Chains A and B, each alone.
Chain A
Amino acid sequence: MSKQPVAVVGVGQTRHVAARQDVSIAGLVREAAVRALEDAELGWSDIDAVVIGKAPDFFEGVMMPELYLAEALGAVGKPMLRVHTAGSVGGSTALVASNLVAAGVHGTVLTVAFEKQSESNAMWGLSLPIPFQQPLTAGAGGFFAPHVRAYMRRTGAPDTVGSLVAFKDRRNALKNPYAHLHEHDLTLEKVQSSPMLWDPIRYSETCPSSDGACALVLTGERGAARAPRPPAWVHGGAMRSEPTIFAGKDYVSPQAGRDCAADVYRQAGVTDPRGQIDAVEMYVPFSWYEPMWLENLGFADEGEGWKLVEAGVTEMDGDLPVNPSGGVLSSNPIGASGMIRFAEAALQVRGLAGEHQIHGARRALGHAYGGGAQFFSMWLVGSERPDH
């Protein structure tokens, strides 16, 4: 059984902000969807199915909101699927949509992911109440801080590495008109002296809470041939999950992340990720996750990730640019954050990333993770049609 090639021919996103009080939830998702259709120069009638994803329904207080969004997304009379795989959901949603095309079930699919976090308080939404969890952690930062500390202890990385990542991503975001945070006056010193939230994670090393949506139009070979702008071809995509808590779990470098990357590289024929991949859009909600994922994804040897950060390798002009868009540290509508990574990777290989374009990017990795560092979704996109 051979899969059909899948191409990204439309990308759309909203300008991510703290609160979009001017639009309803339907207005928000439709804005991203319309931009993706415009990019592809397609209309609603060209879409065969809609796949939508978001993180927990409690964030907006709407149960299964896809039911109410059917009309806004032009899905009436069509198949509509709703994916929820925690923080990785934006990536997973794109992969479910991609599989519909790869399997030959549909010709052209619209996929959308969103979060309108201003409808609630995401930090407390992420802090599970008794009886589900003891009240030991406040928000995702409280959960992940000990794992960052474990990484620092394991590798001997200096305390400043996290601030370098945060400063880089926030500077990159200045080149991305869709990014939520545009901190023109930020300095490295300001990052390093910002309040400590969850030791060792400081305020400026933490993702914001955003309202935003992202949409992609995926199609096959014929659709790609008709597309007005260069497509991004899907060279590989995979999801992996592991349990939240178990004896022997490596929170610093989860096996599911390693396995997921290995599967994607195998599909894409990548044997040397550092050498063969030109740009990475990595899910880094807390700055220290950049060096951690560099190791988990095979871009650096174990214990060496922080050295790439220190050496400037992941800067916009480094030889492995990570998060040229500014990443999750600069925009975080949680349910959409994974799809934004996938979309930004596609924009890079299409040569359409604007001011944050990495010159000559031919292969880019989009990465997302969620839950207790247990759900992973990734895709590798390229400017050339895959030859297998």
Chain B
Amino acid sequence: MSGTDHLDAPTGLRDVAVVAFAQSSHTRRTDQLSEVELLMPVLHDVLKQTGLTANRIGFTCSGSSDYLAGRAFSFTMALDGVGAWPPISESHVEMDGAWALYEAWVKLQTGEADTALVYSYGKSSPGSVRDVLTRQLDPYTLAPLWPDSVALAALQARALIDAGHTDERRLAETAVRSRRAATANPHAQLRGSADVEELLRQPYEVEPLRRHDCPPISDGAAAVILAAGDSARALHVNPAWIRGIDHRIEAHQPGVRDLTESPSTRLAATAAGAFDAPFDAAELHAPFTAQEIVLRRALDLGDGVPVNPSGGPLAANPVMAAGLIRIGEAAALIHRGEARRVLAHATSGPCLQQNLVAVLEGAAGTEGGAR
């Protein structure tokens, strides 16, 4: 089943690349669309980019949440949309699609498949996503208190400000930079921003966070195609090679964590080889402005590295897809020849509890090169 690609001697890992990426135009609500209807155009797009059909894909893996969908086994409807006939080799994670991509990457590493379709989607609009996300918390000690996602992020921002790592102005600057960058991204939901002075005149949402510090509520979907070795070279002239990918989790209770640090991001980045060479850009899954500061510190990303040229999750935040979109946007920069080495990051859980880091590299003799 394995392709003709060479084995990478030091690690024994295969060269795997992102060869296609597609996403929806994310919006505040999609009342007229089911999750499947939201996803279908994205699947068609990503398959069309490669000329592949669902039954020619070696492995399929998706990420989604029953709690967002409001029903059990919601992913089965999406699978019907994929058209899993004849039967396909397929799996699903109840996680952001970035982790579905990780599972697919592992599958390609076994040599049992040479190509993989990864997709994820989420509709936050049918319910109150702030309330829904409280159901992620420890059911005995935290969830009964219903601390919502904005309140928890505000605790993290407060800790960061108190530690002297940022201030409200710098947070506002992050929001302005992200949403102005999104003017060039037709898929983004919030494009453009008032200036910092105007934003700082607004009332607090949950102190110290104002509305601009929070992500929009989004419905959206994304899909990526992975391919190994020669299959990747055949499907894209400039594949975005995954030079390293790793993910780590931290303790759940916010009270036992130092919320100004992200040791799990640091560990994942180290394992993914992120510190081996500088980056041309980074796509960070930081739904709240203060979380970008935490991640920049964990990743040693100075002001010279452009962060979230797509606008990032502050411009569109379809829960369950926003992490996969970071990997897709990072790959797209390489596909378009706008960057050679890009870091992609995804997160899950309250206050950046779980983090994934991927290092993507493009052409210019990098095959078999730095890793």
* Residues of A bordering B, CB below 8 Å: 1-3, 24-25, 55-58, 60-65, 67-71, 75-86, 92, 96, 99-100, 102-105, 125-126, 128-129, 132, 238-246, 254-256, 259-260, 371-372, 374-375
Q: In the bound complex, how far is the Cα of B75 from the Cα of A245, in angstroms?
A: 14
Measured CB to CB, the nearest residue on chain A to B143 is A62
Q: Decide: B135 and A62 in contact? CB cutoff 8 A.
A: yes
- In the complex, what residues of B have CB within 8 A of residue A240's CB? 87-90
| Known contacts A67-B354, A245-B80; A259/B86 CB under 8 A | yes
Q: Decide: A80 and B249 in contact? CB cutoff 8 A.
A: yes
Q: In the bound complex, how far is the Cα of B88 from the Cα of A245, in angstroms?
A: 15
Q: In the bound complex, how far is the Cα of B349 from the Cα of A65, in angstroms?
A: 10
Q: In the bound complex, how far is the Cα of B349 from the Cα of A80, in angstroms?
A: 12
Q: In the bound complex, how far is the Cα of B353 from the Cα of A84, in angstroms?
A: 20
- In the complex, what residues of B have CB within 8 A of residue A102's CB? 110
Measured CB to CB, the nearest residue on chain A to B245 is A105
Q: Decide: A239 and B267 in contact? CB cutoff 8 A.
A: no
Q: Decide: B103 and A67 in contact? CB cutoff 8 A.
A: no
| Known contacts A1-B14, A58-B66, A259-B86; A81/B72 CB under 8 A | no
* Residues of B bordering A, CB below 8 Å: 2-3, 7, 11-14, 60, 65-67, 71-73, 75-77, 79-80, 83-95, 99, 102-103, 106-107, 109-112, 132-133, 135-140, 143, 246-253, 263-264, 267, 348-350, 353-354
Measured CB to CB, the nearest residue on chain A to B72 is A56
Q: Decide: A243 and B85 in contact? CB cutoff 8 A.
A: yes
Q: In the bound complex, how far is the Cα of B247 from the Cα of A63, in angstroms?
A: 20
CB distance from A369 to the nearest CB of B (A): 12
Q: Decide: A61 and B139 in contact? CB cutoff 8 A.
A: yes
Q: 25 A-B contacts, Cβ less than 8 Å apart? A: A25-B139, A61-B139, A63-B133, A64-B348, A67-B137, A68-B137, A68-B138, A68-B139, A77-B264, A77-B267, A79-B247, A80-B247, A81-B99, A85-B90, A92-B91, A99-B112, A100-B106, A103-B106, A103-B107, A239-B91, A240-B88, A241-B60, A243-B79, A243-B84, A246-B80
Measured CB to CB, the nearest residue on chain B to A371 is B76
Measured CB to CB, the nearest residue on chain A to B267 is A77
Q: Decide: B88 and A128 in contact? CB cutoff 8 A.
A: no
Question: Which 5 A-B pairs have CB atoms at the shortest separation, nearest pair first?
Answer: A1-B111, A103-B109, A256-B87, A56-B72, A241-B90
- In the complex, what residues of A have CB within 8 A of residue B112's CB? 3, 99
Q: In the bound complex, how far is the Cα of B112 from the Cα of A239, in angstroms?
A: 12
- In the complex, what residues of A have CB within 8 A of residue B354's CB? 67, 70, 80
- In the complex, what residues of A have CB within 8 A of residue B140's CB? 24
Q: In the bound complex, how far is the Cα of B72 from the Cα of A125, in angstroms?
A: 7
Q: Decide: B92 and A79 in contact? CB cutoff 8 A.
A: no
A-B contact count (CB 8 A): 189
Chain B CB count within 10 A is highest, among A68, A71, A128, A256, for A68
CB distance from B148 to the nearest CB of A (A): 13
- In the complex, what residues of B have CB within 8 A of residue A375's CB? 90
Among B99, B252, B264, which residue has its beta carbon within 8 angstroms of that of A71? Answer: B252
Q: In the bound complex, how far is the Cα of B264 from the Cα of A79, in angstroms?
A: 9
Q: Decide: B139 and A77 in contact? CB cutoff 8 A.
A: no
- In the complex, what residues of B have CB within 8 A of residue A129's CB? 71
Q: In the bound complex, how far is the Cα of B175 from the Cα of A235, in angstroms?
A: 53
Q: In the bound complex, how far is the Cα of B105 from the Cα of A100, in angstroms?
A: 10
- In the complex, what residues of B have CB within 8 A of residue A77's CB? 248-250, 263-264, 267
| Known contacts A79-B246, A86-B76, A242-B84; A64/B349 CB under 8 A | yes
Q: Decide: B95 and A126 in contact? CB cutoff 8 A.
A: no
Q: Decide: A63 and B135 in contact? CB cutoff 8 A.
A: yes
Q: Decide: A83 and B90 in contact? CB cutoff 8 A.
A: no
Q: In the bound complex, how far is the Cα of B252 from the Cα of A241, in angstroms?
A: 33
Q: Decide: B136 and A244 in contact? CB cutoff 8 A.
A: no
Q: Decide: A96 and B103 in contact? CB cutoff 8 A.
A: yes
- In the complex, what residues of B have CB within 8 A of residue A63's CB? 65, 67, 132-133, 135-136
Q: In the bound complex, how far is the Cα of B251 from the Cα of A82, in angstroms?
A: 16
Q: In the bound complex, how far is the Cα of B19 from the Cα of A1, in angstroms?
A: 21
Among B80, B248, B349, which residue has its beta carbon within 8 angstroms of that of A244? Answer: B80
Measured CB to CB, the nearest residue on chain A to B64 is A84
Q: Decide: B73 and A70 in contact? CB cutoff 8 A.
A: no
CB distance from B267 to the nearest CB of A (A): 6
Q: In the bound complex, how far is the Cα of B70 from the Cα of A102, in angstroms?
A: 36
Q: In the bound complex, how far is the Cα of B133 from the Cα of A62, in angstroms?
A: 10
Q: In the bound complex, how far is the Cα of B137 from the Cα of A255, in angstroms?
A: 40
Among B14, B109, B248, which residue has its beta carbon within 8 angstroms of that of A78? Answer: B248
Q: In the bound complex, how far is the Cα of B95 from the Cα of A239, in angstroms?
A: 19
Q: In the bound complex, how far is the Cα of B67 from the Cα of A61, in angstroms?
A: 9
Q: In the bound complex, how far is the Cα of B81 from the Cα of A257, in angstroms?
A: 20
Q: Decide: A255 and B86 in contact? CB cutoff 8 A.
A: yes
Measured CB to CB, the nearest residue on chain B to A50 is B249
- In the complex, what residues of A have CB within 8 A of residue B89's CB? 238-241
Q: Decide: A3 and B73 in contact? CB cutoff 8 A.
A: no
A64-B136, A84-B66, A240-B89 known; 7 other A-B pairs, CB under 8 Å? A1-B14, A25-B139, A67-B252, A79-B246, A103-B110, A105-B109, A244-B77
Q: In the bound complex, how far is the Cα of B242 from the Cα of A105, in angstroms?
A: 14
Q: In the bound complex, how far is the Cα of B143 from the Cα of A11, in angstroms?
A: 32
| Known contacts A68-B137, A84-B93, A371-B73; A76/B66 CB under 8 A | no
Q: Decide: B94 and A64 in contact? CB cutoff 8 A.
A: yes
- In the complex, what residues of B have CB within 8 A of residue A60's CB? 139
Q: Decide: B110 and A3 in contact? CB cutoff 8 A.
A: yes
Q: In the bound complex, how far is the Cα of B84 from the Cα of A246, in angstroms?
A: 10
Measured CB to CB, the nearest residue on chain B to A80 is B249
Q: In the bound complex, how far is the Cα of B170 from the Cα of A172, in angstroms?
A: 67
CB distance from B303 to the nearest CB of A (A): 29
- In the complex, what residues of A have CB within 8 A of residue B349's CB? 64, 67
CB distance from A58 to the nearest CB of B (A): 5
CB distance from B46 to the nearest CB of A (A): 19
Q: In the bound complex, how far is the Cα of B251 from the Cα of A79, in angstroms?
A: 12
Measured CB to CB, the nearest residue on chain A to B81 is A243
CB distance from B133 to the nearest CB of A (A): 7
Q: In the bound complex, how far is the Cα of B111 from the Cα of A191, in angstroms?
A: 48
Q: In the bound complex, how far is the Cα of B135 from the Cα of A284, in angstroms?
A: 32
Q: Decide: A83 and B92 in contact? CB cutoff 8 A.
A: yes
- In the complex, what residues of A have CB within 8 A of residue B88's CB? 240-242
CB distance from B223 to the nearest CB of A (A): 17
Q: Decide: B106 and A3 in contact? CB cutoff 8 A.
A: no
